[in-house]
Structure 1
């Protein structure tokens, strides 16, 4: 008996209707499942809410902000109704600078993380799947970048591109941050390429690129997403460190450049806390939000990592207690 015979014999009620009204697993059903997954994890919900706030601030904030480099007669003024986050020693509005610097900082973080993730995927998965001399060459390249200390390498490369463009900053951070992720992906690929479904795909004559894209890459999606999240944090922290050391273009407003200007003006010793606290707090909150998203995704994808929170169970009046059972 075929599937069509079973369906005709059972009637229309045999197959449950799809939530979207179409085939099972439609767009509406996937959106509902994703929303339930987000609500299931408090860490993921809080992290996504904070990141959404930063993204909204980066997209909409500069449109309503005045000239962040504009001078005024309000020198080193504390937060007030006219200046929400106070002013600098030259009368520049800190709130306007924070709006503009948020966009550039997130652009650098996302761009450098995306490029570093692509490099690590190509070298890690490509070398692990191909094997042979290709794997040996790519593995040697990864080991060379791992042996060289990361921070001194970034400082040396950035010193030659001082005052460079935004693209140069993204390239410098991406080139120095892909090796560790590539090693992890290579080790996982070496384990996956010997699985039964990969061997079956080879026996059926599937092309190599299709085996990688269909059979291997989806099974490493969780690792890639986690590495991308921490690559964003690393890129923002690295750019802030380089800017604080004076190795970035001072004309580009970022969280790190705001800290650099505050340090040069001795804002800490003069008590101008509203100058350096907002950008430092943004870096800390953004890093914490990205970490919450990573931990929340682990809870959603791996049920063994979920935190068990027992609910309060109300005892039924008809259910006898242990004392009543003993008395009986």
Structure 2
């Protein structure tokens, strides 16, 4: 009689550690990277967007991939220059709004007292004020154009929301054991904020930065479309503004207004995917759900 031996059973690890990565984050970074390359390198090869001398309202062709405007300007050249302008405004707004929200949120929450009360009151005031009407009033009052002035104006209404989120998280971190241990050991307050609290806020800061960039680009497009961002086609919203004034929709010149509108939508979706991907990485429950 032949003896039958049972096959050896190898125990699988109970909880394999999955790499911290997200398909949404990778897709969003790919979309954002494409627009960054187009904005940085595209204008170098696109030619002069203000050059006039082509056939007017010519549809897309081999010579002009996105056609021409009513004044004979190349739409592709304008689109690439506008991509650089919109990205510049979005990044400037995102960085400035994030820095202000960090100062207000971290300093107020850690130091507490009258400083925290004052920062909280200021944040609440800016949260209840409608952002777009306030920016329109400030832009009209300043009577100055240019991307820098526009970015500073948009930043005024973009910092309050992230500041509230960072303040809430800082209040939670302020009572942790390692922060108490650093305080008892004699560490100065600025070192505790920089080396103990800020590293734990990096995922939230990254998410708020991406959100601020999205808001800056969309608000710039709205202001440019209303004709409040200067007189040059320096952003996607400016292209939409000039296309509207030239009745591109009624004349059927879809190649003039569809590309900038599509760029706004695709880049907004890409940055949103980055935000969702960051949420999946920092939130264990979302990681388990997507696994």
1:270 is aligned, of 242, 245, 251, to: 251
1:105 has 2:97 as partner: no
In structure 2, the residue matched to 1:115 is 96
Conserved 8 A contact 2:179-2:196: yes
1:248 has 2:229 as partner: yes
SS at match of 1:253: coil
1:204 has 2:185 as partner: yes
**Distance verdict in 2 for CA 1:131–1:308, change over 3 Å:** closer
Distance 1:261 1:157 in 2: 23
Distance 2:22 2:113 in 1: 43
Larger radius of gyration: 1
In the TM superposition, residue 160 of structure 1 has moved relative to its aligned partner by 1.9
Distance 1:263 1:131 in 2: 50
In the TM superposition, residue 306 of structure 1 has moved relative to its aligned partner by 2.8
- Structure 2 residue runs of 5 or longer lacking an equivalent are 1-18
In structure 1, the residue matched to 2:210 is 229
In structure 1, the residue matched to 2:279 is 298
In structure 1, the residue matched to 2:73 is 92
Distance 1:183 1:82 in 2: 51
In structure 2, the residue matched to 1:154 is 135
Conserved 8 A contact 1:162-1:249: no
Map 1:129-168 onto structure 2 (within 5 A): 129-168=110-149
Moved more, 279-288 or 143-152: 143-152
**Number of matched pairs:** 273
Conserved 8 A contact 1:101-1:253: yes
In the TM superposition, residue 161 of structure 1 has moved relative to its aligned partner by 2.9
1:285 has 2:266 as partner: yes
- Structure 1 residue runs of 5 or longer lacking an equivalent are 1-35, 311-328
In the TM superposition, residue 303 of structure 1 has moved relative to its aligned partner by 3.6
Distance 2:127 2:281 in 1: 31
Distance 1:302 1:136 in 2: 30
**Distance verdict in 2 for CA 1:50–1:219, change over 3 Å:** same
Distance 1:117 1:105 in 2: 18
1:65 has 2:46 as partner: yes
Distance 1:303 1:104 in 2: 37
**Distance verdict in 2 for CA 1:76–1:163, change over 3 Å:** farther
